Chains A and B, each alone.
Chain A
Amino acid sequence: MTDINLSCPVPLADDDTVLLAHGSGGKAMHRLLESVFLPAFSNPALAAAHDGAALTIAGGRLAFTTDSYVVRPLFFPGGDIGTLAVNGTVNDLAMCGARPLYLSTGFILEEGLPLQTLRQVVASMQAAANAAHVSIVTGDTKVVDRGKADGLFINTAGIGVLEHNRTIAPQAIQPGDAVILSGDVGRHGMAIMAAREGLAFEGALQSDCAPVAEEVLRLLAAGVDVHCLRDLTRGGLASALVELASASAHGIHIQEDAIPVMDTVRGACEILGIDPLYVANEGRFVAFVQADSAALALTTLGAAARQIGTVRGGAPARVTLASAIGATRVLDMLTGDPLPRIC
């Protein structure tokens, strides 16, 4: 008799892992919504249980953004894919100078993902949403076969309102602008690398994953003349500056010894041969402000912030770095993934 693999098409009532049926739009999916998503993300818009959320937003201009999250491992020191999915999108809205309000979220779940994992991620998302004062008002769930999705992928899109009339964009950057960095760099990428590769460093590395919207809104409320904001995610501080130099067509000069890097991060980078300027962050941004606003910006942001450089006008639109020993080099875009040294 040939080997027949019998699989009952009716899903078991007590699911502890994600099944293909959870994505099919039927009873299993509704059970998932009611037992996992709705209790966590509870708000009136979501409770309406409609295809989309109808929202009333005061004020004229909106900011709109989207991002997808595929981080591995799902859980890391300082956060998880859920906290990233909320904070990442909140921060992109903040970089437009917007007050973040509403998020949508789409899940692509791998068959076999433990439901407990999903519950933890969802709880993280709601906690992050609360901390960032946003609501998750609409969403979607799909399930793909085992092996097709590394656990789970999340997409979030966000809407925020612009409560000012400024143009905050690379094109607004001017020669003489001060480049302000909101805090120390390199934590997130190194925490992920340590977690992924099973490396244990003394003085544990934690991701800096956090919303930055409050800091940005404080800057604007204080009257700082903000020309451009950029959060420092993949590619790190260096890549963000290179992109902005190119987009604004202005040169940027920065001092290496003005850039704060935690000792633990510096040590981990040195051992692995990685440059902290290129390491991902998830709770840091640079602000380009009018030169005479720099002092106010630093006071508003607090002790962690630093002025790291200035914008030099016109061509060449490069980023130059004065090294710790006084020589100058040019920063370029990251090539591929940072690979550690071999000896």
Chain B
Amino acid sequence: MKYMDEYRDAAASRRFARAIRRITTQPWTLMEVCGGQTHAIIRFGVDTLLPPEISLLHGPGCPVCVTPIHLIDAAIALAARPEVIFTSFGDMLRVPGSHTDLLAAKARGGDVRMVYSPLDAVRLAQANPEREVVFFAVGFETTAPANAMAVYQAAAQNVTNFSLLVSHVLVPPAIEAILSAADCRVNGFLAAGHVCAVVGYEAYFPLAEQYRVPFVVTGFEPLDILQGVYMLVRQLEQGRAEVENQYARCVRREGNLPAQALVQQVFQVVPRQWRGIGEIAQSGLGLRPEYAAYDAVQRFHLAADITPEATDCRSGDVLQGRLKPHQCPAFGSRCTPEHPLGATMVSSEGACAAYYRYRSLQAETLAGAP
């Protein structure tokens, strides 16, 4: 089976779209949490196949977007140090801090390098013993195991010139924050498939029960999303609030146990600042005290100031599903990928970037849509 062909099949997509239309009898507001799902929806136009009663809200599942601005500033400051090789996934390089971004820091002479794996950063540290290698450890639960492995291996191999600048965030606390907001309009959630592949989906059962909201663990191809929507609408139409798994080819209820064990060994749950949203308790991961030597904040004595966001950036509202990107007054005018006001316009998983890339020229017609 070739997943990309099978899960993007036009005929199958239309059948699912028809099936969703058949069972939908009233308006429902659904939220997909993961930025990767947002992009797939917009890129393939999945939302245009849904009946008008279904509206999709885009959630805060873009770790790049929610990394606090002071950490971006800290990253830029580290990159400017001559002894530092600052490594990161590509996405973080163009996210704006208070004044500039990492790519500009690179242009000004900072040694900023894009890597595809945190283990590459460890290898870089081994190859350059006279330099300090820092890796920007950004992500949800999905990337935590690889980052934990990097620290674990660095410790095992006695690599002392390597550290992580950590900005890990957890999904369930973010969902709970959205559900407990007074103006929450979300009827059901498409849960992030790859996060669940790592941590499983046990955490959603108490949320489903407490808030009477269904969850469907969903994948990333158009057919995954359509099937996920179908399963969610079916639950809502039947008055159920349960947790179901659409992405069964990839996700088990208990998740990936060895990965979880490694993460628990290296990281602990800490409070985290979410850019545009504020602090959410117990919503992040930080290095355990026994791995403090690998924590860039402690290693480089970085200040922990909270920097206020630019006032005209509405990322926070977009991330919580209160605003669609094209409804933001700065969208496409003062805020574009070339000169973004906030992270949601830059990151490949940011809702604003998705709308701009795939929909901007239709924004004038979308402006009237809910």
Most buried by B among A325, A327, A341: A325
Number of A interface residues at 8 Å Cβ cutoff, please give it. 24
A336-B44 CB under 8 A given contacts A326-B13, A342-B91 = no
Q: Is the CB of A328 within 8 A of B361?
A: no
A interface majority secondary structure:
loop
CA distance A343 to B136 in the complex (A): 13
Decide if B293 is an interface residue (CB 8 Å cutoff): no
Q: Is the CB of B359 within 8 A of A330?
A: yes
Within residues 21 to 69 of chain A, which ones have a CB less than 8 A from any CB in chain B? none
**Nearest Cβ in chain A — how far from B8, in angstroms?**
5
A342-B361 CB under 8 A given contacts A324-B8, A327-B45 = no
Residues of chain A contacted by B42 (CB below 8 angstroms): 329
1/0 contact string of A237-274 vs chain B (CB within 8 Å): 00000000000000000000100000000100010010
Q: Is the CB of A325 within 8 A of B94?
A: no
Contact residue among B45, B48, B91, B362 (Cβ-Cβ distance under 8 Å from A341): B91
> What residues of chain B have their CB less than 8 Å away from a CB belonging to chain A?
4, 8-10, 13-14, 36, 42-46, 48-49, 63-64, 89-94, 114, 116, 138-140, 142-143, 194, 222, 336-338, 348-349, 356-362
Contact residue among A266, A332, A340, A342 (Cβ-Cβ distance under 8 Å from B64): A342
A336-B337 CB under 8 A given contacts A328-B45, A330-B360, A341-B349 = yes
3 closest Cβ pairs, A-B complex: A327-B45, A339-B90, A342-B89
Decide if A295 is an interface residue (CB 8 Å cutoff): no
Decide if A197 is an interface residue (CB 8 Å cutoff): yes
**Nearest Cβ in chain A — how far from B149, in angstroms?**
15
**Nearest Cβ in chain B — how far from A40, in angstroms?**
36
Q: Is the CB of B93 within 8 A of A339?
A: yes
Extra A-B contacts (20), CB below 8 Å, given A340-B91, A343-B63:
A197-B114, A318-B361, A325-B8, A325-B9, A325-B46, A326-B10, A326-B45, A326-B49, A329-B358, A329-B359, A332-B356, A332-B357, A335-B337, A336-B94, A340-B89, A340-B116, A342-B63, A342-B89, A342-B348, A343-B139
CA distance A336 to B353 in the complex (A): 13
Q: Is the CB of A199 within 8 A of B116?
A: yes
Q: Is the CB of B361 within 8 A of A316?
A: yes
Closest to A263 in B: B2
CA distance A332 to B43 in the complex (A): 12
Decide if A299 is an interface residue (CB 8 Å cutoff): no
Closest to A325 in B: B13
Residues of chain B contacted by A316 (CB below 8 angstroms): 361
Residues of chain B contacted by A341 (CB below 8 angstroms): 36, 89, 91, 348-349
Residues of chain A contacted by B63 (CB below 8 angstroms): 342-343
CA distance A342 to B169 in the complex (A): 14
Q: Is the CB of B94 within 8 A of A339?
A: yes
**Nearest Cβ in chain A — how far from B357, in angstroms?**
6
Decide if A323 is an interface residue (CB 8 Å cutoff): yes
Residues of chain B contacted by A339 (CB below 8 angstroms): 90-91, 93-94, 114, 348
CA distance A273 to B63 in the complex (A): 16
CA distance A170 to B139 in the complex (A): 45
Closest to B3 in A: A270
**Nearest Cβ in chain A — how far from B317, in angstroms?**
23
CA distance A324 to B223 in the complex (A): 11
Closest to B194 in A: A343
CA distance A325 to B42 in the complex (A): 12
Closest to B41 in A: A327
CA distance A339 to B64 in the complex (A): 13
Q: Is the CB of A343 within 8 A of B143?
A: yes
CA distance A329 to B49 in the complex (A): 13
**Nearest Cβ in chain A — how far from B147, in angstroms?**
11
CA distance A266 to B5 in the complex (A): 11
**Nearest Cβ in chain B — how far from A270, in angstroms?**
6
Contact residue among B48, B142, B143, B356 (Cβ-Cβ distance under 8 Å from A327): B48
CA distance A151 to B201 in the complex (A): 52
25 A-B pairs within 8 Å (CB atoms) are namely A197-B114, A199-B116, A318-B361, A323-B43, A324-B9, A324-B44, A326-B13, A326-B45, A327-B49, A329-B43, A330-B358, A330-B360, A335-B336, A335-B337, A336-B337, A339-B93, A340-B89, A340-B91, A341-B36, A341-B348, A341-B349, A343-B139, A343-B140, A343-B142, A343-B143
Residues of chain A contacted by B222 (CB below 8 angstroms): 324-325
CA distance A326 to B4 in the complex (A): 15
CA distance A141 to B93 in the complex (A): 37
CA distance A143 to B91 in the complex (A): 37
A326-B14 CB under 8 A given contacts A336-B94, A336-B338, A342-B89 = yes
**Nearest Cβ in chain A — how far from B165, in angstroms?**
14
Most buried by B among A257, A327, A336, A340: A327
CA distance A318 to B360 in the complex (A): 12
Within residues 306 to 336 of chain A, which ones have a CB less than 8 A from any CB in chain B? 316, 318, 323-330, 332, 335-336
CA distance A333 to B139 in the complex (A): 28
CA distance A281 to B46 in the complex (A): 29
Residues of chain A contacted by B89 (CB below 8 angstroms): 340-342
**Nearest Cβ in chain A — how far from B212, in angstroms?**
30
Closest to B103 in A: A336
CA distance A325 to B359 in the complex (A): 16
A340-B360 CB under 8 A given contacts A323-B44, A324-B8, A327-B46 = no
Residues of chain B contacted by A266 (CB below 8 angstroms): 4
Closest to B34 in A: A343
Residues of chain B contacted by A324 (CB below 8 angstroms): 8-10, 44, 222
Closest to B356 in A: A332
Contact residue among A273, A325, A330, A332 (Cβ-Cβ distance under 8 Å from B348): A273
**Nearest Cβ in chain B — how far from A294, in angstroms?**
24
**Nearest Cβ in chain B — how far from A271, in angstroms?**
9
Contact residue among A199, A332, A342 (Cβ-Cβ distance under 8 Å from B143): A342
Closest to A274 in B: B348
Closest to B146 in A: A343
1/0 contact string of A163-190 vs chain B (CB within 8 Å): 0000000000000000000000000000
**Nearest Cβ in chain B — how far from A150, in angstroms?**
15
